[in-house]
């Protein structure tokens, strides 16, 4: 058995995270048995891409971390923006540069004249209207911590094929 998620459009950060959560839950459910196969298939820049989730030992601890973040987010505002967080984690994994990773994250957050950024989402705009999540201080530190906690394992254990 296994899991297959498909999106005939660009694979978004939320798609990758949902597929990862499903994989981790299935892997935890089988216990010490063989891990299920899991694939996410979609489009990126006019080519079909497939992400294969490989054996990930820390599934249970990562799920626990995600549940903790979810609970915190239900009680208070947290600076977790899927596309910006994935952009940060991806760039940080490539170059180990906080500054470069923050540039990528800010670009995803702010968008361009041609593509909306996450700050243009009505819910994000309402919640973060008076605050710049990339302006430094504890909000920026929490963004970095959340981005890495959520997306580092996704990047580590999802292989692009």
Q: Judge whether residue 56 has pLDDT over 70.
A: no
CB of 118 closer than 8 Å to CB of 87: no
- In the predicted structure, residue 7 carries a pLDDT above the cut 90: no
**More confident call, 45 vs 134:** 134
Higher-confidence residue of 48 and 41: namely 41
109 φ/ψ angles, rounded to the nearest 5 degrees: -70, -45
Residue 140 burial by CB count (10 A; 0-12/13-18/19+): exposed, middle or buried? middle
Bridge partners of 42, per DSSP, are: 49
**pLDDT, position 53:** 81
Average pLDDT estimate for 66-84: 96
Spatial separation of the C-alpha atoms in residues 92 and 99, rounded to whole Å:
9
Residue 123 confidence class, pLDDT cut points 50, 70, 90: very high
Residues 17 and 150: beta-carbon distance below 8 Å: yes
- What pTM was computed for the model? 0.90
Instruction: Write phi, then psi, for 69 (nearest 5 degrees).
Output: -65, -40
């Amino acid at each position: 058995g296994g899991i297959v998620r498909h999106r005939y459009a660009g694979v978004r950060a939320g798609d990758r995270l949902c597929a990862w959560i499903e994989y981790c839950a299935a892997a935890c459910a089988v216990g010490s048995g063989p891990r299920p196969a899991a694939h996410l298939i979609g489009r990126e820049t006019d080519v079909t891409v497939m992400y294969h989730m490989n054996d990930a030992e820390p599934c249970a601890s990562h799920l626990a971390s995600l549940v903790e973040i979810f609970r915190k987010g239900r009680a208070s505002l947290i600076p977790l923006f899927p596309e910006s967080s994935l952009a940060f984690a991806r760039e940080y994994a490539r170059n180990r540069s906080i500054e470069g990773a923050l540039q990528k994250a800010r670009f995803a957050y702010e968008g361009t004249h041609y593509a909306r950024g996450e700050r243009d989402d009505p819910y994000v705009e309402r919640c973060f209207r008076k605050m710049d999540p990339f302006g430094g201080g504890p909000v920026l530190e929490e963004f970095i911590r959340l981005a890495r906690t959520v997306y580092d394992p996704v990047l580590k254990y999802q292989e692009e094929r």
